Structure 1
Amino acid sequence: MFLSDFDLDMPYMMNEQKVADIMKERNCSFNEATKLDYELNWKCKRHTFRLQTRCITAMFERLFGKMKTEDCWKIIVECVDSPIEDGLVNISGVLHVRNHFDYTSFIPLSESEKKKKALELLMNGVYKICEQKGWDSDLFDRVNKLIQELDYTNQWVWKKPLKSPDSSYFAEVLCEHDLQSMEISLLIKEKSGREIIRKKVIEELPDEFAYAKHLGKLKWLSTDEVALVNKKGDRMWAVKVTFE
């Protein structure tokens, strides 16, 4: 088995008073009140937290690659504002570890501070796992350091540059994964490497489930026009070489 996936989560923590108030107000059962409490008071902030930290966990995955393990392929660091248990839980190869976290202090942080906090939370969880499983932390440390050196900027070129039919140009798909969005741009460069066209063609939610569907294939429509085609093949975004 190979470890290759990392994520942060903010699992539901029941507030007994809120659940009791819902039971009284709605005249419903404990289970019904708990579900309502999750939907009304937790689901949205949990989703927002994951979206705003995914750029860092996805960057960690991309730079990490994979590591051979005996029993896990993914690490989820559960960020909770409650007493922490040091034990690990392995569910079908997914290692869960808990880390103390105050969501109310996370909300007002700037975007750069949120990125730093996300990496800190992830590494705190990773170190707990390394200690308990006897793993060498060197590989994780290298990725941690590299993300800091890259100023927490998760930007990469999707697949390889594609040469135009007459070999005059190269086209690239540039992905910029940030806290609030994933921006996908088409770049056209001359053979020398000089960039002559850069156009943002897609802005999507910062999560693979939202943007991966757009990354189907890159193809030249002519000697001076290139297009990104989605996975279904029913939509494309094109850019043409133009000179002022």
Structure 2
Amino acid sequence: MYLREFDLDLPYIVDKERIQAIMNEKKCEYHDATKFDYNLNWDDKRRSFRLETRCITAMFERLFVKMKTEDCKKVLIECVESITDERILNFSGIVTVQVKSSYNEFILGNDDEKKRTTLNLLLKGIEKISREKDWVIDAFRDVSSQIEKIGYLNEWIWRKAVKSPQKKYYAEVLCQHNVKSMDISILIRQMDGTEVRKIMVISELPDEFAYAKHLGQLVWTSESEVVLVNKNGDNMVAVRIE
């Protein structure tokens, strides 16, 4: 088994007083009250937290060289106000550990602060797991240092550049994974590297399940126009050389 994936989560914590109040108000059972409470008070927070931390966890995955393990394919860090379980658990290769953090402090931070907090929480969890599993921590710290050195900037060129029909230009797709968005731009350059155009063509939620559908194929339709076709082939965005 190879470790390739990393993620943060905001697990649901039951507030007993609130659950009891819901049970009294709605005259329902405990299970139904917790389900109502989760949907009303937690689901959006959990989704928002996962989206806003994905910028750094995805960057960590991209820079990390896969590591062979006995039983782990993914590290999942549960970020909690108070640690209720010190154990390191394994569910079908997903190794989970709790790390203390404050959601309210996180959500009030600016984007740079959120990036730093995400990396710090991720590394804390990895260190706890590494001590139990006797993993060499240097490989993880090296990735953390790389992220810090490039200023937490998660951007990359998707696939290879594509040359225009007469080979005067080449085009690339630039992906910029931010805290609140994934911004996808088309870059057109002359063959010597001089930038001719740079246009952001798509801004999507900062998660692979949201933005991957837009990345199908980059195609020149003429010497002056290039289009990005989605995976289904039923939608495209075009950029022309003015």
TM-score (norm 2): 0.98
1:102 corresponding residue in structure 2: 102
- Give the SS at the match of 2:167: coil
- Give the SS at the match of 1:11: coil
RMSD: 0.9
Matches within 5 A, 1:1-244: 1-242=1-242
Whether contact under 8 Å (2:83, 2:98) holds in the other structure is: no
Query: How far apart are residue 84 of structure 1 and its match?
Result: 4.4
Alpha-carbon distance between aligned partners in 2 of 1:82 and 1:171, rounded to the nearest angstrom = 50
Alpha-carbon distance between aligned partners in 2 of 1:202 and 1:40, rounded to the nearest angstrom = 31
- Give the SS at the match of 2:70: coil
Alpha-carbon distance between aligned partners in 2 of 1:128 and 1:233, rounded to the nearest angstrom = 45
The one-letter amino acid paired with 2:181 is: S
- Compare 224-233 and 75-84 and name the one that shifted more: 75-84
Alpha-carbon distance between aligned partners in 1 of 2:46 and 2:121, rounded to the nearest angstrom = 15
Give a deviation string over 1:214-237, Cα, whole Å, max 9, x none. 011111111221111000000001
Give a deviation string over 1:129-170, Cα, whole Å, max 9, x none. 111100001111111000001111111110111111211111
Query: How far apart are residue 85 of structure 1 and its match?
Result: 2.9
Query: How far apart are residue 110 of structure 1 and its match?
Result: 1.2
Aligned length: 242
TM-score (norm 1): 0.97
| Structure 2 unaligned regions, length at least 5 | none
Query: How far apart are residue 72 of structure 1 and its match?
Result: 1.2
Query: How far apart are residue 86 of structure 1 and its match?
Result: 2.8
| Structure 1 unaligned regions, length at least 5 | none
